[in-house]
Structure 1
């Protein structure tokens, strides 16, 4: 994983461009399965998640490059949630292919597709911390990195005083401004997190493609 800012910027830009170049305009039901509905539901969520993640990552990168660090890091936190959600559905599909059937698989698909905490007429969503913890089991450090991004997103010390103030102890005062302590450390945190979460997202996204033929076969066999 690259460690300096220029290498990170270049690698992230390449990842984002790959995503931008492969945004799907549509998915035909028959192209997935003519009988099983669950694979189509997972594929629809996967592609919507790609569209979401591409927009978030593209704008996160743009903001950090422009040294609008807080906005870029907050969007990076959103990207990490998307990456964890992609990992979560990849794991569910992988287990089915490996012969570990989950009788609640359709419920999970519906929660991912339609989950909304504010609407009692639809399923509750899968909690974001649930998908973060699932990803962390496979990739230790995901949860810790997410927690660090949350400190920027919340109006805690990191998201307020660290970014916008600096103590002048000689003159007994606090000075305020845009990143008076400098930008390098926060930019490095944002970019390294963005690069890692995009790598996780892309791996899980591509793995779902590899698993899908066998997953469709398993789901169709369940119907019979």
Structure 2
């Protein structure tokens, strides 16, 4: 989507969209698409040019972005299941959309490791994928010694070179595809169904939500 017309949302459900949380769900849905497309396009471009490290770092950010949408979908389902209060859901969507770590906003963002931990329940192995990509991104043993040196045990020599394509070039595009396929399901199939159900749920529970909303009115548009 190139834009989110507020008039279109109110025509879908004036009751649902007097609350901020559903609009934030649309914001996250579309922002994740734009960011993930940008990250993975650049990751593939760097891979084709033989820049393996940069390609992996961008892919790592891609999995972070994917995890944000997975987590949002989980939160929406929890509201529908009755395991998460709507006003708490509202606060979490606020943190997902305008949260920051550098104090550029008043709201603290949710730690990405926490989000990935929640996603592990639906996509077993996503935490390990992220951890492996993070080892490449950081100047740790793999990020320094493995990525740029190789020991010749026979000659007792250490030889330096850029080894990222040698180490990970063959499986990079498969990892990109895994990220894309998972995103497509979350974006096209899961989110749309949950969003429609959430709108209906808000309409059915609007009186209770009004009666229990925080006194500062944060959940209101």
TMscore range, shorter length:
0.7 to 0.9
Q: CA RMSD in A?
A: 1.9
Aligned match for 2:187, one of 184, 187, 205: 205
Maintained 8 Å contact 1:79/1:198? no
Maintained 8 Å contact 1:32/1:216? no
SS at match of 2:205: helix
1:116 correspondence with 2:100: yes
1:25 correspondence with 2:2: yes
Distance 2:185 2:205 in 1: 28
2:168 corresponds to which residue?
Answer: 186
Normalized against structure 1, the TM-score is what? Answer: 0.81
Could you tell me which runs of 5 or more consecutive residues in structure 1 were left unpaired when the two chains were aligned. 1-23
Maintained 8 Å contact 1:56/1:76? yes
Deviation at 1:146, TM superposition (A): 0.9
Maintained 8 Å contact 2:152/2:158? yes
Q: Against the structure 1 CA distance between its residues 120 and 176, is the aligned structure 2 distance closer, same or farther, given a 3 Å change threshold?
A: closer
Q: Against the structure 1 CA distance between its residues 121 and 77, is the aligned structure 2 distance closer, same or farther, given a 3 Å change threshold?
A: closer
1:174-202 CA-partner distances (Å, limit 9, x unpaired): 221222xx735412343333222222222
Q: Which residues of 2 match residues 33-72 of structure 1 at below 5 A?
A: 33=10, 34=14, 35-72=18-55
Aligned match for 2:58, one of 49, 52, 75: 75
* Higher Rg: 2
Maintained 8 Å contact 2:99/2:108? yes
Normalized against structure 2, the TM-score is what? Answer: 0.82
Q: Against the structure 1 CA distance between its residues 100 and 29, is the aligned structure 2 distance closer, same or farther, given a 3 Å change threshold?
A: farther
2:205 corresponds to which residue?
Answer: 222
Deviation at 1:140, TM superposition (A): 1.0
Maintained 8 Å contact 2:152/2:159? yes
Deviation at 1:49, TM superposition (A): 1.4
Distance 1:100 1:157 in 2: 42
2:146 corresponds to which residue?
Answer: 162
Count of residue correspondences: 199
Moved more, 210-219 or 81-90: 210-219
Distance 2:24 2:71 in 1: 14
Could you tell me which runs of 5 or more consecutive residues in structure 2 were left unpaired when the two chains were aligned. 208-221
Maintained 8 Å contact 1:83/1:197? yes
Distance 1:163 1:36 in 2: 49
Maintained 8 Å contact 2:43/2:59? yes
Deviation at 1:64, TM superposition (A): 1.3
Q: Against the structure 1 CA distance between its residues 26 and 123, is the aligned structure 2 distance closer, same or farther, given a 3 Å change threshold?
A: same
Maintained 8 Å contact 1:32/1:39? no
